[in-house]
Structure 1
Amino acid sequence: MAIVRSFLQVAVTRDWEVYQMNVHNVFLHGDLEEEVFIRPTPGFRTADKNQVCRLHKSLYGLRQAPRCWFAKLSTTLLDYGFQQCVKDYSLFAFADADIRLHVLVYVDDLIITGSSRADLGISKYFLGIEVARNSTGMYLCQRKYTLDIISDTGLLGSKPASHPLKQDHTLALAPGDSLSDPYPYRQLVGRLIYLSVTRPDLSYVIHILSQFMHAPKAAHWAAALRVVRYLKSNPGQGILLQAGTDLRISAWCDSDHGGCPLSRRSLTAWVIQIGGSPVSWKTQKQDVVSRSSAEAEYRAMAETVCEILWLRELLTFLGVDCTSPVPLHCDNESAIHISKNLVFHERTKHIESDCHFIRDEILHGVIDPQHVSTRVQLADILTKALGRKEFDEFLSKLGYTVQ
């Protein structure tokens, strides 16, 4: 979804119209390369009961159908003069003189934007995301989807919660037996995962709740219901892609050293903005145990730089100038020193060499690490459960708005 938000941010900044279209009977348009045979459909009589039908086109239910459709679409767009992005094959761009046209494909849904407004209309709804636009920018939210979650859990009349998760929670060490029927918990958490498309504030709590899908307990179910009560306080909350910005990338990364009490692995979190609007964010557990907070932060920087490099290539394909260094904000001075210092250090000799590519990107002028205080670290909200006051402060710093 980061590419969708980035795609829309570019359109908003350039004041381009956005059009959404759906292709009907999408899986019936693909050309089959393999020989596929099916039994005759009911009502179709054959002289021999052993006869079968050979397909010349793809059909719903075939495993090849999605790939055949995309191959047909991409081939057609390339024939019309479009270029396909190598960083995301679902993105296409057409450029001719002063005219640009961008197409983003998601199965049978397409988002189209460009510099010409002759034949384009405004998108209102895409992949369950509600789109509202005015002079200040484009507002993305999932209000209807949120209200459906609240209604289906029976919490329409419940008291709203001020923040999604209690501070200093101990869900990883929750006592008691597992729920007899884990399906409602799994279903609710699965729906919350998709809700995080427009809600960075849910990234941490969803990361926590997703770890107990195999055997949730009563405490985990109560925590999931608290998230729903938090949604009830602002069901229309979403992100604003601001208009009139310079489309510069800025990144914030953070880590919670030893955040998992079971595995002692740290958490990595990042928030990346384009023109001051959040377009990419993530909370994930690191693969290895870090021996210090500096190492944990350094690994978080490495993951964030990977995302930055991808976004730079993506924006360049969309015609955006990305030659200036990207400020990478980190609240750990030791991690910044490690990234800038090419001297071997006894405490960093065990860190995998692939993490050290940060130094190369700094030398090439791609990344500019900058130290910030924890109080203004935007990614802090994605690494731990904050109190109500701190949570509200970080929401405002993320540029959150309520419709």
Structure 2
Amino acid sequence: MVDKFSTAICNLGFTCSPRENALFIRKSEHGVDLLLFYFLGLEVLSIDEGIYLSQAKYASDLVARAGIIDSHIESTSLEPNVRFIPIDSTVLDNPTLYRQLVGGLVCLTVTRPDIAYPVHVLMQFLSSPRSIHYAAVLHIIRYIKGTLFHGLHFSAHSSLSLQAYSNVD
């Protein structure tokens, strides 16, 4: 199956990367063609100022999966100073939707580092989620609903230096 796919892609003018066999490149007289627009839920917008990555459609689908149809949105990804204790509230009868939504939020953190911390916190309760945890997931998704088009911008004029900050407390 893989050879069939590779052959089909190569017949379209692409060449396989020598370092990554899942990466195919096509060059034209103008350089590398920018053909990537949407891949595995990741939307790529290439403009003169740089590249913008988002997951707006994926996020919108996640909002729909959560069943949020009202117009209520949240201004923060998690309530300030919230603490979750494993014995708070009642255990969910069917934790499947909770697990699916948290998994979807994990995938969304690729372009949304603003939700990484609250999603990480709620992942700790996958084995036995409670109603308070599910309410927090819905809170994050309502925040996502209000910020669907947030993403990452990589400037064409940047120095390409990576800077990261962490608070180990």
Task: Flag the 1:250–1:121 CA change in 2: closer, same or farther, 3 A.
Answer: closer
SS at match of 1:240: strand
1:211-247 deviation digits (Å, cap 9, x = unpaired): 0000000000000000110011111110101111222
Task: Flag the 1:77–1:126 CA change in 2: closer, same or farther, 3 A.
Answer: closer
**What is the rounded CA distance, in whole Å, between the counterparts of 2:167 and 2:24 in structure 1?**
33
**What is the rounded CA distance, in whole Å, between the counterparts of 1:226 and 1:105 in structure 2?**
40
**2:9 maps to which residue?**
none
Match of 1:140 among 53, 64, 72: 53
Deviation at 1:177, TM superposition (A): 2.9
> Which amino acid in 2 is paired with 1:230?
Y
**What is the rounded CA distance, in whole Å, between the counterparts of 1:112 and 1:240 in structure 2?**
23
Task: Flag the 1:77–1:144 CA change in 2: closer, same or farther, 3 A.
Answer: closer
1 or 2 for the larger relative contact order (CA 8 Å, sep ≥6)?
2
**1:244 maps to which residue?**
157
The answer to whether 1:178 aligns with 2:91 is yes
Deviation at 1:248, TM superposition (A): 2.2
Using the aligned pairs only, state the percent identity: 34
SS at match of 1:149: helix
**2:74 maps to which residue?**
161
Q: Compare the two structures and name the one with the higher strand fraction.
A: 1
When normalised by structure 2's length, the TM-score is 0.83
Deviation at 1:175, TM superposition (A): 1.7
SS at match of 2:124: helix
**What is the rounded CA distance, in whole Å, between the counterparts of 2:163 and 2:139 in structure 1?**
32
Task: Flag the 1:210–1:201 CA change in 2: closer, same or farther, 3 A.
Answer: same
1:227-275 deviation digits (Å, cap 9, x = unpaired): 110011111110101111222233322212xxxxxxxxxxxxxxxxxxx
1:313-358 deviation digits (Å, cap 9, x = unpaired): xxxxxxxxxxxxxxxxxxxxxxxxxxxxxxxxxxxxxxxxxxxxxx
The answer to whether 1:26 aligns with 2:2 is yes
**What is the rounded CA distance, in whole Å, between the counterparts of 2:160 and 2:31 in structure 1?**
25
**2:129 maps to which residue?**
216
The answer to whether 1:204 aligns with 2:120 is no
Q: Is the radius of gyration larger for structure 1 or structure 2? A: 1
**What is the rounded CA distance, in whole Å, between the counterparts of 2:63 and 2:16 in structure 1?**
42
Please list every run of 5 or more consecutive structure 1 residues that lacks an aligned counterpart in the other structure. 1-24, 31-75, 83-91, 93-103, 257-403
**1:188 maps to which residue?**
101
Runs of 4+ residues deviating >4 angstroms: 27-30, 113-116
Residue correspondence of structure 1 range 270-289 to structure 2 within 5 A: none
**Would the aligned equivalents of 1:156 and 1:232 in 2 still touch at CA under 8 Å?**
no
Deviation at 1:136, TM superposition (A): 1.0
Let me know the Cα RMSD of the aligned residues: 2.6
The number of residue pairs the alignment matches comes to 161
Deviation at 1:117, TM superposition (A): 2.9
